[in-house]
Amino acid sequence: MNGYLFLENGMKFEGQLTTSSALEQFEGEVVFYTGMTGYQEVLTDPSYKDQIVVFTYPLIGNYGINKDDFESKKPHVAGVIVLECKNTTFHYEAKYSLKEYLEKWDIPLLSHVDTRSVVKQIRNHGTMKGYIGNVNTETIQTDSIEKFPVSEVSTKQQVSYGRGTKHIVLFDFGCKKSIIESLVERDCTVTVVPYQTTYEEVCELQPDGIVLSNGPGDPKQLKEYIPMIKKTISHFPTLAICLGHQLVALAFGADTKKLRFGHRGANQPVYDAKKGKVFITSQNHSYVVDESSLKETSLKARFKNVNDHSIEGIVHQSLPIVSVQFHPEAHPGPIDSSWIFDDFIDSLSNVRREKQYA
């Protein structure tokens, strides 16, 4: 059937709608993803909670959906926009077509859309709300109620993975499975805890280190938990990723701001000031740390985006805390920055030695 994407600036795009829902509209924040592959990981990444994702690559779905590449148990996107969707698959690992998978979860798929034009609207006017509907109307209906997506995607109870020699407590703000797997592969036991876990509860677990995960939404929505986060990461070696990185900045007095249209793709170049090298990263975020706000803090920038010079990672000047805006676990994307995990694991051993001989 005919379907439509309506943007809050008044623009309308027509396509072919695939959905079994009786609802006439699906609302979300409209963003675009530039990777050629990795749509399965994007759909199931909790950081995309309540977002309508426009895929810029013209053909999506050609290798189907398999049983291994999920980043969580279900998709979190509010809708999918593509130019062309492949409904038949020939990859030996495919279990579903993209269309079948989205229909299973009642997520609208709007195809045959001029995705280049949609992306130009977002680039020129910034990320905006929109909705997918099957009724042609001039009225833009958007929900004015502010959502708190972290509470919807975080674990509700402690869960442990692996049986390694190093114990990591991972704060789940919307964690990707690949982050946990990257730590388990490096001889770690990972205890995943809810986002509102207290410092005292963390101490009872006796971790060697802390990881603050990725997640959806504005980091300032978590402002009531910032003092607890600061107390916790001030006492343990910490690696923070994406939303976790932004929370580290807020915890030590820096500020965050929203980008015009964010970074979402597997081809973002990042410069490491410490190593003097550039590597390609996978990213998914709307918010960044405001560089000017670092001046009066104990933090300093280490990583920067080569394209727009935004902050891609910071370090604490006296505590073993490193945070990155990009995704070192990739999935999807290049593994150029996977060494971030190795450096973090090494820092745990260094802290152990310092405590042993103190």
What pLDDT is recorded for position 141?
61
Residue 358 pLDDT exceeds 60:
no
Q: How far is CA 85 from the centre of its chain?
A: 24
**Residue-averaged pLDDT of the chain:** 93
Q: Could you tell me the pLDDT band of residue 356, with boundaries at 50, 70 and 90?
A: very low
The confidence band for 292, taking pLDDT boundaries of 50, 70 and 90, is very high
pLDDT tens digits, residue range 185-216?
Answer: 999 999 999 999 999 999 999 999 999 999 99
Name the catalytic one among 188, 263, 329, 331: 329
Q: Which of 263, 285, 327, 331 is catalytic?
A: 327
Whether 188 is catalytic is: no
Q: For the segment 87-130, what is each residue's pLDDT rounded down to a tens digit? A: 888 899 999 999 999 999 999 999 999 999 999 999 999 999 99
Tokens of 355: 């405590």
Taking only the tens place, the pLDDT of each residue in 7-49 is 999 999 999 998 655 456 789 999 999 999 999 999 999 999 9
pLDDT at 349 over 90: no
For residue 165, what pLDDT is reported? 97
Model confidence at 353, in pLDDT bands (50, 70, 90)? very low
327 flagged as catalytic: yes
Helices (H), 147-297: 149-153, 177-184, 199-205, 226-233, 243-251
- Structure tokens belonging to residue 55: 């895929």
pTM of the model as a whole? 0.94
51 vs 351 pLDDT, higher one: 51
**Whether residue 295 has pLDDT greater than 90:** yes
Q: For the segment 128-169, what is each residue's pLDDT rounded down to a tens digit?
A: 999 998 888 766 665 656 789 999 999 999 999 999 999 999
Q: Record the tokens describing residue 324, joined without a space.
A: 């990155």
Q: What is the pLDDT of residues 221-252, one digit of tens each?
A: 999 999 999 999 999 999 999 999 999 999 99
Which member of 175, 242, 285, 331 is catalytic?
Answer: 242
State how far the Cα of 140 lies from the Cα of 8, in Å rounded to an integer: 6
Domains recognised in the chain with CATH numbers: 2-133 (3.50.30.20), 150-357 (3.40.50.880)
Please check the confidence at residue 351 and state whether its pLDDT lies above 90. Answer: no
Q: What is the pLDDT of residue 241?
A: 98
CA proximity to 185, closest of 328, 352, 39, 45: 328
Q: Say what the pLDDT of residue 311 is.
A: 98
Concatenated DSSP letters for 252-294? TT--EEEEEEEEEEEEEEEEETTTTEEEEEEEEEEEEE-GGGG
Q: Is 309 a catalytic residue?
A: no
